[in-house]
Amino acid sequence: MYIAFPESELEVSLLSNEIACIDLDAVIGDIDACMQSPECTDHTNPPSEN
Amino acid sequence: MLLPSRVTGEGLPWIASAFYRNAEAIQVFVVVESDMPRFLPVPTVELPLDQCVLFATSVVRELGPVQSLDFLRVPDVFCRCMNLSQGLLDIFEGGAREALGDPLLGIFTLDIPGGIDPDPNRDALFGAIIAAALMGRMFEPVYDPASQTPFTVYNASPDNEKRLRQAGLHFFASGEKVGFHTDGSIDEKTVSVPEYIGLYNLLINYQKPGNLYWLPFSLWEEFDAYAERFGWAVPYRIELTPAVYSNADETIIFATRSVQAPIFSRSNERQAIVFFNGRILGRERFNGQDIDQLVAEMGQSISLNPVRYCIPQRQRRLVFARNTCGFHARDMLEKPYHGCKYTRSFIRAVSASGAQVGLC
């Protein structure tokens, strides 16, 4: 057990610098990603409008 | 209301010891703040790196080279990944189910270590596959019809926010605080509150990601008072935040949905269900005033509750919550790293099980 809060900015910075190397588009592939995060997930069939 | 002894200062060791019984690699985050509300620790397990590497090796051996997360779109492939995650599940399942089933807790966190693969993209990919597989083991997820995956990917970026703003759509920017709410789920006909949700942070490009907060209904001191003010099973018109999807070729905007649902209701098992989500419209039940003030007061009451659970938002952190027994909120994410295409990416899965609360 350890006290892990708050995380130091240095610690977060190191983590983020590692992850910033990620090509997120490549990781996700051709999945349609949601551009925002509504609190209610819509499971109706998607419309085809652009 | 008096707090149960288990969540007072004397109760913290109880929580810790309970989870030590169920997993070796347990960590309990003790949060100490001088101001109210008091923060309670969320039981957290870090998966052993060697077990994660073993999982990744098994996936490649059985399914071939893995290029991106979209391979989980095939139900049989997703099922095989779930089966391969048995060894990982065994490490934490007992403690997680105990936490999620406890009405005084209802939340559990899992950290997926980095270093599964030396390539950063593949390392991130295997972390996300593990998260998706384990969410599928903890509850049966609903398939997202837009992405055809058993989860939804949310990508925040300055460009996405600009497009949403230009379309005149309401959205929650990463740099914006999200107040306490319960997650909902809608299909063509019904409005539901999923029993379980899983949230996995794939990418956080912020120096100060802040915290995720959780308040079980059982610890909210003014639950009964607000249930009375809104009324039990009294339907309200609620405008939901629209979903907007994008891929390389197009942007797909779901029409803004307006649903009819009670804020407070009871499931068939007489369990209290709260649908606190979207923009609640209409007038108060007793005095006929606009509902906005009452909604704001309820949000403030939850925020000012003397205690809440708190867990720092981190990359490769997977949060399980029993959505039918509590509210969650998050801090704004601050100090973004500049020059990054995306500021945040997370995966959310919601359970098919839950309580239906209204009709569309």
pLDDT tens column, B277-290 = 889 998 888 888 88
Are A42 and B240 in contact (CB < 8 Å)? yes
Are B171 and A24 in contact (CB < 8 Å)? no
What does the pLDDT read at residue B8?
34
Distance CA A50, CA A47 (A): 9
pLDDT classification of A38: cutoffs 50, 70, 90? low
pLDDT classification of B251: cutoffs 50, 70, 90? confident
pLDDT classification of A34: cutoffs 50, 70, 90? confident
The residues pairing with B232 across neighbouring beta strands, listed in sequence order, are B264
Give the CA count within 13 Å in the CB-facing half-sphere of B128: 32
- The pLDDT tens digits for B86-115 are 999 999 999 999 999 999 999 999 999 999
Residue A32: which residues within 8 A CB-CB, separation 6 or more?
Answer: A46, B146, B147, B245, B246, B247, B252
Find the mean pLDDT for residues B333-337: 86
Per-residue pLDDT for B180 more than 80? yes
Find the mean pLDDT for residues B300-326: 96
**Mean pLDDT score of chain B:** 87
What does the pLDDT read at residue B249?
67
What does the pLDDT read at residue B44?
95
Of B50 and B256, more confident: B50
pLDDT classification of B58: cutoffs 50, 70, 90? very high
Instruction: Choose, out of B153, B157, B274, B334, the residue to mutate when testing the contact with A (most A CBs < 10 Å).
Output: B153
User: With b meaning 16 or more CB within 10 Å and e meaning fewer, what string describes A7-28?
Assistant: beeeebeebbeebeebebbebb
What does the pLDDT read at residue A49?
42
Are B350 and A41 in contact (CB < 8 Å)? yes
Are B252 and A47 in contact (CB < 8 Å)? yes
Find the mean pLDDT for residues B2-9: 34
Per-residue pLDDT for B9 more than 90? no
The beta strands (E) that lie in B7-90 are given as 26-28, 38-41, 43-46
Residues of B in contact with A33 (CB under 8 A): 147, 153-155, 245-247, 345
What does the pLDDT read at residue B142?
95
Residues of A in contact with B337 (CB under 8 A): 16, 20
What does the pLDDT read at residue A45?
63
Distance CA B92, CA B320 (A): 12
- DSSP class of residue B149 equals B
